[in-house]
Structure 1
């Protein structure tokens, strides 16, 4: 009877140890997966930031060019005239 109780106790202790080791391995695996996901999210955020900077630069350039065209239109001496001269036509064609 003592031997059966000792074997049952040994099996229970082995099961508990196996559970603890499996739980620790799962925690380590989850921590590694979380670290990899964070690194990937950081890389994606950097790429998105670079894309946003490029978009803002392009928008600023577009706005600057539009302002230059608007300024040229306001400076056009033929603005009040019904007939456009060649330089006015070239300015309009640049759009």
Structure 2
């Protein structure tokens, strides 16, 4: 009877150690996938931020250019906008 009890204890210990190793391996694999996903998200965010900054710089440049064009035109009548400014404003809409 003692042999069977020892054999059963050995089997339970072996099964427990196999389970623990499988759990640890699974946890490590999950952690690696999680870190890879985080790195991919960081890279995507960096690309989007760079694109946003480029678009913002282009928008600011165009706004400055439009403002410079508007300010370069002399005021002929102080009570109204010249026709070219009105056309330019209509193009923006």
Q: What TM-score do the two structures reach when normalised by structure 1? A: 0.81
| RMSD of aligned Cα (Å) | 1.8
Give the 3-state SS of the residue equivalent to 1:7 in structure 2. Answer: helix
CA contact (8 A) 1:78 1:85 kept: yes
Runs of 5+ consecutive residues of structure 1 not aligned to the other structure: none
Task: Give the C-alpha shift of residue 46 in structure 1.
Answer: 1.4
Q: What TM-score do the two structures reach when normalised by structure 2? A: 0.83
Aligned to 2:87: 90
Q: Point out which structure has higher relative CO (alpha carbons under 8 A, 6+ apart).
A: 1
Moved over 3 A (4+): none
Runs of 5+ consecutive residues of structure 2 not aligned to the other structure: none
